[in-house]
Amino acid sequence: MSKIRLLFASSEVYPFAKTGGLADVGYALPKALSQYHEVEVVMPLYQSIDRDLYNIVSTGEKRLVKMGAASYEIELFQTSYEGLLYTFVYSAVLCDVEFLYGTALAGYENNAIRFGIFNRAIIEILSANTYDAVHLNDWQCGLVPLLLRENPSITTKALFTIHNLAYQGTFPSSTLEECGIDASYFTLDKMEFYGQVSFMKAAIAYADMVTTVSPTYAKEILSPEFGCGLEGFLASHEIKLIGVLNGIDQDHFSPHNDPLLTQSYNDLKGKQVNKSDYLKSVSLKGVKKPLFLFIGRLVSQKGVDLLIEILPKLASLECNIAILGEGEEQYVHSLQELSHRYNTIYFHQGYDEKLSHQLYGAADFLLMPSLFEPCGLNQLIAFSYGAIPIVHHVGGLADSVKKIEKFDPDSPYGFGIVFERPTGRSFMNAINKAMNLYDDKLHYNTIAKHNMKGDFSWSESALVYGALYKSIIKGKHV
């Protein structure tokens, strides 16, 4: 078999809509796969997407999607972006909302119906065209494998990727009826999860293959510590579970050619210009001091409690700290308070793509104290921009960041400071190591330069995905 015809479905894809790493994957993986296969992407046409900017036009196809007692009108739109065909599903219920999924406090109450519509639209697309495989991402696409089972005339095989098991798409049992799913699916071995229905379980049960975004996370989720209550269920499907490490698009995340930077750079001297520009822009002083950076969603997963715990100690060292994030109120409040208290901490509250690039360009170290991390992309971006990551040894961070103590200039890996336990003390020890490393300029520069030259792209993992699609098309596991 040569080229595979693949439909890649995601609830967010950069640059159209992004809340986190899923959008980066939704942009970069189909692009990498399209070197070898025929790939199309499908996503919702949220009202926040600029139709004119991306030349997104209606295909003229309007359909009624029946779910339970209700019918919802959908309309398909398309555009071609960087050589790939994107299909957008528009339905007022799914798309005409302020945020993609809800606020930091809670998801929208009708999320099951919203993404039920999206999933049924994917089935419509699959039945109208011939695809060899469909690649589904996270619970927002979780019903598709089950619906494929209900539509045996569609021969497309389904690969489902878990980007974060902490978000499972669990809803009240009434969802079954609202989404037009037979009550027989409401059992422990299918969709039932502690009296609720789980979109994630439907996907795991019926996909031909399930992947996670790193090999270590694939093992971790089989344990109660990381399995979010699904460890037993996952273990019963272990035969079709495999971890494939995410990559980044190194054309997009490239300091050599990044229109979002104040100045593109190829070396650490050029990086200094970005650092000094950034520090000036927020009135932080001391370009010779290391700049630590935290970027991410302000949720417990990202180790924000640890960050807040150590910030007073960190602020007492000869350094500056920049933080960019949005999320839970309590964290926003604490970070605001700390940044008022210490004039070496600058907290940017919100989501800002341009600023994020500038910060990667400016920072000497990236802080990633995540309690769990399915893969994490920030550390890979940091490698590319010459910021050395400081990470908790967990999930994809364990797979992608090798310890500086074992630095080997011939290694294809990126190196950083790795701490073993998610405690303030362990994190602070790692930061002290970073301070020492920064003082040893030669060593710091050697590692940062090594990382900047590394290949953290999708090239290898796209081949692995290609092989996985082929194996399910042939009807085999792994």
Q: Which residues bind ligand ADP (CB under 6 A)?
A: 20-22, 24, 295-297, 324-326, 351-353, 356, 375-378, 381
Which is closer to ligand ADP, CB of 120 or CB of 348?
348
Number of residues that this document lists for the chain: 478
With tokens 């003390």, the residue in question is 425
Contact 124, 211 (CB under 8 A): no
Distance CA 62, CA 345 (A): 52
Question: How would DSSP label each residue in 352-364?
Answer: -HHHHHHHHHH-S
Which is closer to ligand ADP, CB of 87 or CB of 457?
457
- Six token digits for residue 213: 């975004």
| CB 424, min distance to ligand ADP, A | 22
Instruction: Please list the helix, strand and coil fractions of the chain in percent, rounded to the nearest 5, in that order.
Output: 40, 20, 40
Closest residue to ligand ADP in the complex (CB): 21
| CB 213, min distance to ligand ADP, A | 8
Which is closer to ligand ADP, CB of 170 or CB of 384?
384
Which is closer to ligand ADP, CB of 380 or CB of 473?
380
**Do β-strands 192-193 and 196-198 pair in parallel, antiparallel, or remain unpaired?**
antiparallel
Burial 255-286 (b: 16+ CB within 10 A, else e): beebeebbebbeebebbebbbebbbeeeebee
Give the CA distances from residue 417 to residues 313, 367, 375, 402, in Å, rounded to whole numbers and listed in that order: 18, 10, 17, 8
Which is closer to ligand ADP, CB of 116 or CB of 369?
369
DSSP class of 309: H
Distance CA 444, CA 437 (A): 6
| CB 327, min distance to ligand ADP, A | 8
Which is closer to ligand ADP, CB of 116 or CB of 396?
396
| CB 128, min distance to ligand ADP, A | 32
Which is closer to ligand ADP, CB of 147 or CB of 293?
293
| CB 439, min distance to ligand ADP, A | 28
**Do β-strands 5-9 and 38-44 pair in parallel, antiparallel, or remain unpaired?**
parallel
* Bond before 409 cis per omega within 30 degrees: no
| CB 146, min distance to ligand ADP, A | 25
Which is closer to ligand ADP, CB of 21 or CB of 255?
21
With tokens 């809670």, the residue in question is 106
| CB 248, min distance to ligand ADP, A | 8
| CB 359, min distance to ligand ADP, A | 9
Distance CA 175, CA 142 (A): 14
- Phi/psi of residue 320, each to 5°? -120, 155
Distance of CA 336 to the CA centre of its chain: 26
Q: Which amino acid is at 143?
A: L
Which is closer to ligand ADP, CB of 30 or CB of 116?
30
| CB 356, min distance to ligand ADP, A | 4
Distance CA 166, CA 164 (A): 5
